[in-house]
Every structure is written in structure tokens, then in C-alpha cells.
Structure 1
Amino acid sequence: MSIGETPARPRKKKKHTGRNIILSVVALIVIAGLVAGGYLWNLGRTFDSNSSKITDAFPAEETRPEVKEESKDAINILLLGTDTREVRSDETEEDEFATLPGGGRSDTMMLVHIPSDRKNVFVTSIMRDTWLDIPGVGTAKINRAFASGGVPKAVETLEGLFGIRINHVASIDFEGFKGMTDAVGGVTINNPIAFRPVHNKSYYFPEGEQKLNGEEALAFVRERKAFTGAGGSDYRRVKNQQLFVKAILGQILSKETLTSPAKIQGIVQEMAPYVAVDESLDATKVAGIASSMLNIRSSDMEFFTLPNNGPGRSADGQSIVIPDMDTIEKFGEALQRDTVDQFVASTDLSK
């Protein structure tokens, strides 16, 4: 049809227009899919080639719980936050013994639970001084699991505690937070308690909303000495880490980031060198998990600390966190039944 030519049969054109719009949309989706597929493949190569693997991340098969039918499609990931700074003279031996791949120390432990319906993500912080039964060791701090058997022993301990299987393990060095933060152009947090880091007084974090660059973010998530009160230092640090993780995820999941290939590429490039994952968690598996969670936003994520009764002392005088075993048992049942949303809605998890 030439420019300016009038259609001879307008009714048919109207009918065809509807069909053509649909075909155009389908074509755009296919093209977008092909482009995204190639782009994600490149990202996958970047991730796989720059991240490292945690070999033998899981305990012996005979020690692991059975997978419940109700939760077989749920995903449980043990996320380990590590720190590869040089050990300062004021840090205790307990800070040093929990080593991970790459020489990092386990300063943070989170269980990430993604339910079968993929409508939410539940992130549970486990205090490193939580007093638990460590298989083959006895009752001790959860960090003791790393000292006695590395990542597999930590996995075995938590699988026994909750009665569920941990599907994947990922260890992320805090240095990676710095790169990710800068890659998204800074992260805005709402800090509930003003503080100045004890070992880096050049920083000050006032109460309220503020935007952090990479170096500031690193100082923010690391600090614990600035906080006082019974058990206050580790409790506040865990809360700050939860706050920051949720903030940076919100930034990464924002439309501004998701529609910027350069930003996404930058995030992967900055993060990958600081990540170690179990051998089954490659780019293909990550992409599969991500594609099932396209509608998740930071508002769909729930963060809480493993239920506990506060700080205390062990029989041999160690400073510990006393687990609330009654509530933890209910949490384990919810994980097994894939009803964590109901557990969170009906339980006071403010501690």
C-alpha cells in the first residue's frame, strides 16, 4: 500500500489491526526474550567465571532430613556473610575461628526461604552466639559448627534444628557490598540509631534517612562495637545488616536498575569476585530461581532474627544468645509445611 492510499475495506483493516497488534506484541516479546537470553548468558559467564565454589558444602546424605511433600518446591538458601579484613588485635579468638572459603570469618548467617508460590521471601538472621546442639560436638555456639566441620557442619546443624533441607549455600564477603552499592549509584537507608564506628571515626551515621556509598555501606554493616547494652552490639549489627540488605535489594529490584543493562552488568561484575557458592548453584540455576520471582519486590521480603530469649551465660561462663526453642520448633514446622507466611503473621518476631 502506497503512502496516502485509502484502504478499500476499512472493516477488514480494523479486524486485521487487532491481530497485527497481537502479532507485534508477540514479536516484541520474542525479540526481547532473545536479547535478554543472550544478555543473561553473558552475565552468567561473568558470574560463573568470577565467583568461586564451596566444594562439599553439604553433609553426608544419611544425616539429612527427608524432603516433605508440602515444601518440595520451596527453596532454602544458607547465606553466609564473611569478612576478610586483617584480624585486629582487639578481636577475640571466637571472631577468628569461623573461617570460610577464601579465609573469611563467618560474621553473619541468614536462612533465605523462598516459598513454593514465590510470592514472598523470608530472611532469618541467626545470631553467631546462638547456643545450639552441634552434631558430634554437643551444645555450643553456632559458630562452633564452622570450627569443627566447616560449612557442611553448619548446614547439618541448621537442617537438624529446622527439619528441612538447605538447597544451596552462598558466602558473600562484605567487600562485595561495597562494589554492589557503588554499582547501583548508592543505597538509601533509614538508620534508626545514630552512631560513629569505633574503629573508623571518620564516619558518622545520623539517625534518619541517608544515602550511603560503598565505603560508607561497608562501615555501616560491619560495626558492632559502637552499640552498648546486654547483647546490644551483635543484636544491633544484625538489625543494621538486615536493614541494609533489604535496602540494596530494593535498589537492585527497582525499575531504574532492572531497565539498565549497564547497571546490572556492573552489579554482577562487582559482586561475583566476592561470592562463593555450592557447586550446584551456577548461573543457570540462579537464572531459573530469578525467573520464578519476577514479581518480587523489597516490600515482599520479611526479615527477622531467629527467635531467642536474649543474651545469657553458658554453664562454663561463655556469653551466649539463648534460643527460644518453643518458637523455633514452630518455625521449623512452618518451613516443613511451607506455611512460613502464616507463622510470621501469627508470631511476635520483634525481638
Structure 2
Amino acid sequence: MSASPTATTPAPAPESLPTRASRRTRRRRSRAIRNAAIAFGVVAVLILAVLGAGAVLLQNLVGQNLTTLASTEAFPDEAGRPAPSTGAMNILLLGSDSRQTTSSHDLESAGSQRADTMMLVHVSEDCSHVSVMSVMRDLWVDVPGHGKAKVNASLAWGGTPLAIQTLEKLLGARIDHVAIIDFAGLASMTTSLGGVVVDNPQAFTASRGDDRFFPEGEIELEGDRALVFARERYAFPTGDYQRVANQQLLLKGILSRAISRDVLADPRALADFASETSKNLTVDSGFTLRAAGSLAYSLRGIDLSGFSFFTMPTAGTGMEGDQSVVRVDEAATARLRQALHDDTLQAFEASLHRG
């Protein structure tokens, strides 16, 4: 039993106050949870942030909701694919904006709807940085076996195997994992988080929706209003380019909120977000919770500042027959291919800002 305090002996801290050791323990636990959260977020362009954090406690919940796709159905035949990387990791995120019900989403199969969103998530070999690159859905590229077409047509013609084959040919880099997300599910995800904040670069009035005006500056988005923000393109002179940028802003806002202390420290909020996210996600079977946990540990040294978002450079728009398309910037794409090969994508992105 501790001695009674005297005039010369400092009284022990009240039990209600944390000791230095307990604070260190909580900080380590919080840091571990936060970084595990970030890792799983990489799988679905950072939307899955809390799933990795709760992989042990929420395994049954996540496992019940999450849809997995056999590798033989997700990836093309091995012949002709780029060699596997020994360090860096590339994850393809495909998002649908079809307005269909979740049960009818089937982007992995040939003949299904085209993807509204295509993003490449690149984790550097030293796990010090994660780059999220949007690919314009109307990019005019070579689709193996079909000739020139919009890049997202590859999904309709051959499911994720052809989409991956098309992007690997374009980028010269192997795609290690694929995640398919129901973009309409973003509405329920933002609601489960109690809303997310984005810094809107320009005021606009959307062409659809009940609450259509979005002022410039920091705004809070939740539910259907978040979806209206992410879908709009007709209100902008740059059309799809700004829509892609706004999708990146929303995803960044979701990530920031998902790894906040308010969510990570609240078991109910954590479970609600994990449930809503996993309901709307399909991943290849190779990306297991164990694999996510391993990636989480590798990413333990970075926080939100270690993530960046950008759009693959293009050469503007044009017409192919009666189709409006986005042109490939051949010179920039050659530099991009080299950056992916050399694992210098962060430097490549910085060069775009300097230009």
C-alpha cells in the first residue's frame, strides 16, 4: 500500500488522472489503430480506413458484408502481364455510378455497366507515401482485342480482367489488387460518419438534386448531398475533369473523418462505418484481412499528409466519330510509365505542379 503523502513526499496522481506510462500506452494504441485504419483505406481509395483498424474486433461483421472475387475472375491471364513488383504496390479502384441497387452491381463481369470512376492507388516500396491517381473514364486508349475505345468500355466488354489488361498495357505497371465500390454507397458512408468536410474550390449549382447549391470554401457533406457533389459535371466548363477532382476531395474528406479520434474512439461509429463500407465493396480474394493487416503495419509511419491525389495528365478532349473523348498525352504517359517502374510517382506528381 502506498505511503500517505507528507510535506516532503509528492502525493500520487489521483486515479482519475492518466499517468505518463498510461498516456504512452494509449498513444501507441491510438497510433497503431490509426495506421491500420489508413492501410485498409488504401484498398478502396482510403474509404476503408477503419476496417483495417477494426479487423480483429469487426472481422465477423466485415467478413459477412464484404464480397470477394476469385483471382481467376479478377485478373487477366498471366501471359503478357508486367512482371510482379518486389516492393511497390498498385491497387485499382473501380467505382460505379449506375444508380442500380447494390445487389445488381456486377462490374467484375463482362457485359455489365461501365465504371464511372477509375483510380490507381500506388503504395511506394518504402511505404512512406501513397499516391491516388484518377484516370479519366473517356480516355481514348487501345483495348486489347477491340482496338481504340474509351478506357471504361473495357469493363463492359471484358469485366475487370480486360480493364486491368488495358490499364497495365497503358501504364506498363502491374496491378496487384482490385477493389470495386458502389459509388452510390458513398451516401450511406458519409451518413455513418456524421458528415464529412471538403474544401470546395468553386461555388456551383448542380444540375440535379434537391439541395443543389454548393458554396465555395469548407462545406459539410452527408448522404445524398455528398453524392450530388461527387456526380456533378455539367455545372463546370471543364466538365468531367472537375467532377474527378471533386470525387478526390470527397474521398479525402471521408478518409480524414474516418481516421479521426471521434470515429476511432467510438466503437459504435467504427462498427457503423465498417458495416456501410463493407456492404458496398468487392475486393479480389488475394487481399485478405491478414494481407491488409500486413500493409497496415508497413504504413504505420505515415498519416494523412502521406497521401496525395492527382489526375493522370491528358492532351485535352476531341471527337472520335460521334464520341467526345479525352486524348492521351503520349509524352507525359511515357514519363508516368517510367515513374511507376522506378517507384518515383511522388516526384512525377510534383513535376506536374511545377509545370
- What is the TM-score when the length of structure 2 is the normalising length? 0.80
Is 1:335 aligned to residue 344 of structure 2?
A: no
From the superposition, tell whether residues 258 and 243 of structure 1 become closer, same or farther in structure 2 (CA, over 3 Å).
Answer: same
Give how far 1:271 is off: 0.8
Is contact 1:305-1:349 (8 Å) kept? no
Q: Which has the larger Rg?
A: 1
Distance in 1, matches of 2:93 and 2:218, equals 27
SS in 2 for 1:193: coil
Counterpart of 2:172? Answer: 163
> Which residue of structure 1 aligns with residue 325 of structure 2?
320
C-alpha distance in structure 1 between counterparts of 2:232 and 2:27, whole Å: 48
Task: Give 1:66's aligned residue.
Answer: 83
- 1:151 is aligned to 160
1:39 Cα deviation (Å)? 5.2
Structure 1 unaligned blocks of 5 or more: 11-20, 88-97
> Do the aligned partners of 1:304 and 1:349 also contact (CA within 8 Å) in 2?
no
Q: Structure 1 residues 218 and 2, CA, compared in 2 at 3 Å: closer, same or farther?
A: closer
CA 1:211 to 1:295, structure 2 compared with 1: closer, same or farther past 3 Å? farther
Contact 2:177 2:284 (8 Å CA) reproduced: yes
Q: For residue 91 of structure 2, what is the amino acid of its counterpart?
A: I
Which digits, 9 at most, give the CA deviation of each residue in 1:62-90, with x for residues without a partner? 1211135xxx2211100011124159xxx
Whole-angstrom CA distance in 1 between matches of 2:54 and 2:201: 39
1:245 matched to 2:251: yes
1:129 corresponds to which of 123, 138, 149: 138
Distance between the aligned counterparts of 1:166 and 1:241, measured in 2?
22
Mark the CA change 1:24 to 1:322 in structure 2 (over 3 Å): closer, same or farther: closer
User: Which of 176, 192, 205 does residue 214 from structure 2 map onto?
Assistant: 205
The corresponding residue for 2:43 is none
Residue 58 of structure 2 is matched in structure 1 by 43
Letter in 2 for 1:176: G
Residue pair 1:125, 1:306 contacting (<8 A) in 2 also: yes
Gaps of 5+ in 2: 10-19, 37-51
2:97 paired with 1:83: yes
Worse overlay, 241-250 or 258-267: 258-267
Distance 1:168 1:212 in 2: 29
Query: Could you tell me how far apart the structure 2 residues matched to 1:257 and 1:332 are?
Result: 38
TM-score by length of 1: 0.81
* Contact 1:129–1:141, Cα closer than 8 Å, also in 2: yes
Segment drifting more, 205-214 vs 248-257: 248-257
Contact 1:47 1:283 in 2 (8 A): no
Mapped partners of 1:269, 1:257: distance in 2 = 13
Write the distance in 2 (CA, Å) between the matches of 1:249 and 1:28.
20
Residue 263 of structure 2 corresponds to which residue in structure 1? 257
Q: How many angstroms apart in 2 are the aligned matches of 1:339 and 1:151?
A: 26
Amino acid at match of 1:194: A
Judge conservation of contact 1:99–1:147 (CA < 8 Å) in 2: no
The percent of aligned pairs where both chains have the same amino acid is: 40
Contact between 1:64 and 1:159, CA under 8 Å: does it hold in 2? yes
